[in-house]
Amino acid sequence: MNKLLKSLAVLLALGLGFFSQDIYRSIQSMVADSDHFANHQASHLDIHNICPLSSAPCVVNDVSIILGKDVVSPMQPTTLEVNWPHNTEPQLLVELEGKEMSMGVAKFVLTNQGDGIFSGTLLLPVCHSDAMTWIGSIQSETEQLPISVRMQR
């Protein structure tokens, strides 16, 4: 039994030595990706003025934003309505990224219903966590409004 354990330890050490460069590169890549994500968020959004979306109106720069629910469930459509007076653009773009877990960028379109009212539906993906915060923005051609959405199973 003792020889078996020694043999396994030697094989494990050889395997780790053989793949050590690949393991090191993978760790470096993950660190670089997390730094890029943090810098990307910080450079594009004013994190101090993030509007936490809920069923109560959140007002940013005279724009009122209302989410259909206080907490969004994964893979359950949730309405989003933006009252942006004097905005005549045909649509707005919503981009959200997971704060606690990198899940890519979720993009949604809000269409102009007239009189500065934009509406659309959010459908966030399932993640391993029971709860997660999505941070992003609602974007017009000239301005972006920082927002966050709380998701929970």
Q: Are residues 83 and 97 in the same domain?
A: yes
Q: Do 143 and 79 reside in the same domain of the chain?
A: yes
pLDDT in tens, the chain (153 residues): 688 888 877 777 777 777 777 777 777 767 665 555 544 444 454 556 799 999 999 998 899 999 999 999 999 999 999 999 999 999 999 999 998 888 889 999 999 999 999 999 999 988 777 889 999 999 999 999 999 999 998
Same domain, 68 and 34: no
| Helix or strand (DSSP H, E) at 33 | helix 2-44
The alpha carbon torsion through 50, 53, 56, 61 (nearest 10 deg) reads 40
- Name the CA radius of gyration of the chain, rounded: 22
Query: What is the pTM for the complete model shown?
Result: 0.68
Domain of 21?
1-44
Which two three-digit tokens encode residue 23?
A: 């393991």
> Same domain for 38 and 70?
no
